[in-house]
Amino acid sequence: MPGLTAPADVEAAGTACDLALLLRGRVPPAALRVEGDAGLLTYWFTLVPPV
């Protein structure tokens, strides 16, 4: 999107499979490459529980 230039507070990177498993609560954030405040991932899951 144009105009979005602010850096992310946290970024998780990995394979598509690893990211899908993270979103479903099957692997911890430590299983991925996390840059930034990893605590925000835990907070995000309290707001949006895994399906």
What gap in Å lies between CA 40 and CA 49, rounded to an integer? 14
Cβ contacts of residue 43 below 8 Å, gap of 6+?
A: none
Read off the pLDDT of residues 17-49 as tens digits, 9 standing for 90 and up.
Answer: 999 999 898 999 899 999 999 899 888 888 988
One-letter identity of residue 46? T
Within 8 A by CB and 6+ apart from 2, the residues are none
Sign, CA dihedral 43-8-51-19, equals: negative
**Full-model pTM:** 0.72
Tell me how far apart the alpha carbons of residues 4 and 21 are, in angstroms, rounded to a whole number: 28
